[in-house]
Amino acid sequence: MATDPAYMSASVKSYPFSMSDKLALTKEEIIVKDDELTWDERCHNYRVSCYNPKYREVCERDGLSWAKITLYYFLWFMFMAVICASFVGIFMAIIDKRIPPYRGNSSAIALDTSRPNPGLGFRPQISVQKVLIKYRSSHRDTFDYRHGWGEYKEQLDEFLAYYTEADIRYQRAIDCNGISIDKLRPQFYEGKSCRFDINMFRNRQIPCVTQRNFEYNIGRPYVLF
């Protein structure tokens, strides 16, 4: 910023200024002096810093400077957006929309390379974001954000329907009785699984059955792992 000789000669003097010194200071100059600035002088410097009509500066930058910095950041953020979009596009192009790329022995939980380890989950799970089973055993239906036991029973019924003979997915499962693990391993890698006879629970009079509501209605809920 250009300096005014009259302003510089006045600024080095200690306060109070003489009348001639004050007249030498224009309204467009920032006040600089050795002594502490008064409140009015600080407000004056703030106004001049925000907008200086003499040099046509906003926040101590003229129009050309603002144009340069705006163009710089515009190109910078456009460049970053292109890089981000490129990585997302490559990721979406190579990922399988149906099957995760790492599963079975390639998954993070397959610590034992000699045989595939299954993942661990549980049912019922009303929300994937919550692992707490909370309900009122005296209410079957959910009312006013208060979960009843009915929705937990329905989810267990829906999950166990896979293990019924009427389900087409169950019919595609493997009958693993009498077959060694070495012969089953290639089929496990293909995503197949062994059949599980759900009727064994009914035959043994185990209370974990839908006829007894999985005992959610009496406060002794069963959970499937």
Q: Is residue 135 part of a domain?
A: yes
Q: Report whether pLDDT(28) > 70.
A: no
Q: Is residue 141 part of a domain?
A: yes
Residues 77 and 127 occupy one common structural domain: no
Q: Report whether pLDDT(80) > 80.
A: yes
Short-list 39, 38, 31, 40, CA closest to 12: 31
Residues 28 and 127 occupy one common structural domain: no
Q: Are 165 and 152 in contact (CB under 8 A)?
A: no
Q: Is residue 221 part of a domain?
A: no
Residue 84 confidence (pLDDT):
97
Q: Is residue 183 part of a domain?
A: yes
Read off the pLDDT band of 4 (50, 70, 90): low
Residues 117 and 26 occupy one common structural domain: no
Residues 154 and 135 occupy one common structural domain: yes
Residues 110 and 204 occupy one common structural domain: yes
Residue 76 confidence (pLDDT):
96
Tally of structural domains, the chain: 3
Residues 160 and 115 occupy one common structural domain: yes
Determine whether 29 is exposed, middle or buried from the number of CB atoms within 10 Å of its CB (0-12, 13-18, 19+).
Answer: buried
Average pLDDT over residues 14-39: 58
Q: Is residue 117 part of a domain?
A: yes
Residue 107 confidence (pLDDT):
66
Residues 85 and 134 occupy one common structural domain: no
Read off the pLDDT band of 85 (50, 70, 90): very high
Short-list 21, 15, 60, 20, CA closest to 38: 15
Residue 35 confidence (pLDDT):
73
Residues 108 and 211 occupy one common structural domain: yes
Residue 89 confidence (pLDDT):
94
Query: What mean pLDDT, rounded, does the chain reach?
Result: 76
Q: Is residue 222 part of a domain?
A: no
Q: Report whether pLDDT(6) > 80.
A: no
- Which DSSP state fits 57? E
- Mean pLDDT check: name the lowest of 100-104, 116-120, 160-164: 116-120
Residue 115 confidence (pLDDT):
57
Q: Report whether pLDDT(20) > 70.
A: no
Residues 126 and 183 occupy one common structural domain: yes
Better-predicted residue by pLDDT, 49 or 77: 77
Looking only at the bridges linking them, the beta strands covering 51-52 and 57-58 are: antiparallel
Q: Is residue 78 part of a domain?
A: yes
Residues 14 and 117 occupy one common structural domain: no
Read off the pLDDT band of 119 (50, 70, 90): low
Residues 122 and 206 occupy one common structural domain: yes
Q: Is residue 223 part of a domain?
A: no
Q: Report whether pLDDT(111) > 70.
A: no
| 116 to 119, 123, 182: CA distances (angstroms) | 10, 22, 11
- Mean pLDDT check: name the lowest of 38-47, 103-112, 137-146: 103-112
Rounded CA-CA distance 216/209 in Å is: 11
pTM for this one? 0.45
Q: How many CB atoms lie within 10 A of CB 213?
A: 20
Percent of the chain with pLDDT over 90: 12
Residues 88 and 48 occupy one common structural domain: no
- Owning domain of residue 156: 104-215
